[in-house]
């Protein structure tokens, strides 16, 4: 789940908003971590006790709702995956000098290899964990090199001078919006970790996944903040690469290549796996040919990138779009938790219900505000 969230869009969004908000972005990160934990705890617990994937639970709640939810999440996952493939190409380009298209094709083959291994699930988990650790350590090195104003960042985390609703929507959408919040939950179900007796492990997994993404985002924010407050200008075409290069020179730029590729390839794996997990229960043929369908999803994303090119704005926009999906997905799960026919005699904690509905209301309001801003800008 964590490495699905930490993709090229994650790197781009964090850097762009740091450039716009400076130390005030610390408040956005803190608020989004709280919203993310509430969202993920609710969704993962409800799916675990129901022992159903999200689309099946939604269909049992209201016939057709699961199909609607699946369509939204698969489209959002495809949008992210095109950006993920682009990020793979960019990472290989930085490391080897190969063209981004060639790098994307090579990365596509690696992702397919992982899914076609005999122990695909184990390989996928180990692959994500190892690259996740590498990403955090390399970014930490760059953050230390940039000498960020830590005291100012800490102060603004609780006392911001300005608050940006679009930034909060985009970050929440990029961390637990769309397919991402279901990436870990569906992985747990497939691994047999479900039922009320498994809730302690589900809780730990849900919270630790958010804390890992929060740690990575904070480290990247501090790296970018040090560069921005130092007066440097980031390249509009590739802001995160500028941060690594300005903070740590040529070695920092190479580190960016490793971080970008690691973030992108693990997100390709996560987005493809989870998107297809929303389809496979709709027809036995999809379940039976799951690896072929995942392979097609990866190949299709790669072909769109190869023939259309890197969707630069898509990386930020995809997070915002998935932020719009979140209220629908979370509200569906919360209502399902109140139905004994779906969750048996399980009683969802009242504080989680209230906190979950608070997230639905806050995200719906912020989405409404953001849409109004986008319309005003468009006019």
Residues 287-314: pLDDT tens digits?
788 888 889 999 998 998 888 765 455 5
Tokens of 271: 């987005």
Residues 137-147: pLDDT tens digits?
888 988 898 89
Can you give the residue range of the structural domain that contains 241?
2-378
d(CA 150, CA 140): 14
Residues 3 and 164 sit within 8 Å (Cβ to Cβ): no
Asked if the model's pLDDT at residue 335 lies above 90, the reply is: yes
Asked if the model's pLDDT at residue 324 lies above 80, the reply is: no
CATH code at position 108:
1.20.1740.10
Residues 238-253: pLDDT tens digits?
788 888 888 888 888 8
pLDDT for the residue numbered 206: 92
pLDDT for the residue numbered 157: 92
Mean pLDDT of all residues in 15-37: 92
pLDDT for the residue numbered 121: 63
Residues 108-136: pLDDT tens digits?
998 898 778 766 667 767 777 787 788 88
pLDDT for the residue numbered 322: 65
pLDDT for the residue numbered 76: 78
Q: Which residue has the higher pLDDT, 214 or 177?
A: 214
pLDDT for the residue numbered 65: 92
Asked if the model's pLDDT at residue 376 lies above 70, the reply is: no
200: confidence class by pLDDT, cuts 50, 70, 90: very high
pLDDT for the residue numbered 364: 84
Per the prediction, the chain carries an average pLDDT of 85
pLDDT for the residue numbered 94: 87
233: confidence class by pLDDT, cuts 50, 70, 90: confident
Work out how many domains the chain is built from and give that number.
1
d(CA 195, CA 78): 30
Q: Which residue has the higher pLDDT, 150 or 287?
A: 150
Tokens of 1: 């789940």
When mean pLDDT is compared across 9-13, 152-156, 217-221, 317-321, the lowest value belongs to: 317-321
When mean pLDDT is compared across 35-39, 141-145, 221-225, 320-324, the lowest value belongs to: 320-324
Asked if the model's pLDDT at residue 96 lies above 80, the reply is: yes
180: confidence class by pLDDT, cuts 50, 70, 90: confident
3-class DSSP string for 22-37: HHHHHHHHHHHHHHHH
Mean pLDDT of all residues in 53-76: 89
377: confidence class by pLDDT, cuts 50, 70, 90: low
Q: Which residue has the higher pLDDT, 191 or 43?
A: 43
pLDDT for the residue numbered 236: 75
| Terminal C-alpha separation, the chain | 38
pLDDT for the residue numbered 371: 64
pLDDT for the residue numbered 334: 95
Please name which of 112, 125, 167 lies closest in space to residue 4, comparing C-alpha atoms. Answer: 125
């Amino acid at each position: 789940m964590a490495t699905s969230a930490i993709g090229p869009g994650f790197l781009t969004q964090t850097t762009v908003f740091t450039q716009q908000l400076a130390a005030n972005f610390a408040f956005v990160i803190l608020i989004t971590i709280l919203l993310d934990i509430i969202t993920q705890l609710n969704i993962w617990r409800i799916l675990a006790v129901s022992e159903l994937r999200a689309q099946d639970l939604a269909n049992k709640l209201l016939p057709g709702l699961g199909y609607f939810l699946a369509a939204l999440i698969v489209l959002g996952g495809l949008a992210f995956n095109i950006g993920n493939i682009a990020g793979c190409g960019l990472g290989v380009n930085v490391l080897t000098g190969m063209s981004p298209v060639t790098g994307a094709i090579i990365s596509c083959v690696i992702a397919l290899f992982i899914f076609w291994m005999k122990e695909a699930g184990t390989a996928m988990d180990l692959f994500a964990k190892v690259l996740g650790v590498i990403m955090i350590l390399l970014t930490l090195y760059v953050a230390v090199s940039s000498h960020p104003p830590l005291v100012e960042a800490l102060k603004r985390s609780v006392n911001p001078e300005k608050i940006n609703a679009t930034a909060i929507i985009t970050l929440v959408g990029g961390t637990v919006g769309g397919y991402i919040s279901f990436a870990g939950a569906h992985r747990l179900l497939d691994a047999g970790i479900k039922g009320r007796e498994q809730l302690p492990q589900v809780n730990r997994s849900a919270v630790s996944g958010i804390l890992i993404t929060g740690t990575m985002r904070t480290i990247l924010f501090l790296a970018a903040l040090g560069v921005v407050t130092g007066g440097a200008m980031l390249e509009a075409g590739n802001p995160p690469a500028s941060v690594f290069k300005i903070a740590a020179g040529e070695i920092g730029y190479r580190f960016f290549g490793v971080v970008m590729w690691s973030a992108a390839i693990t997100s390709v794996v996560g987005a493809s796996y989870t998107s297809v997990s929303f389809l496979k229960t709709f027809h036995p043929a999809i379940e039976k040919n799951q690896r072929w369908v995942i392979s097609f999803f990866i190949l299709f994303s790669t072909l769109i990138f190869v023939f259309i090119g890197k969707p630069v704005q898509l990386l930020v926009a995809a997070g915002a779009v998935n932020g719009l999906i979140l209220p629908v997905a979370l509200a569906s799960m919360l209502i399902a938790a109140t139905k004994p026919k779906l969750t048996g005699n399980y009683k969802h904690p009242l504080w989680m219900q209230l906190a979950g509905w608070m997230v639905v209301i806050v995200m719906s309001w912020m989405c409404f505000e953001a849409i109004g801003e986008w319309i005003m800008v468009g006019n």
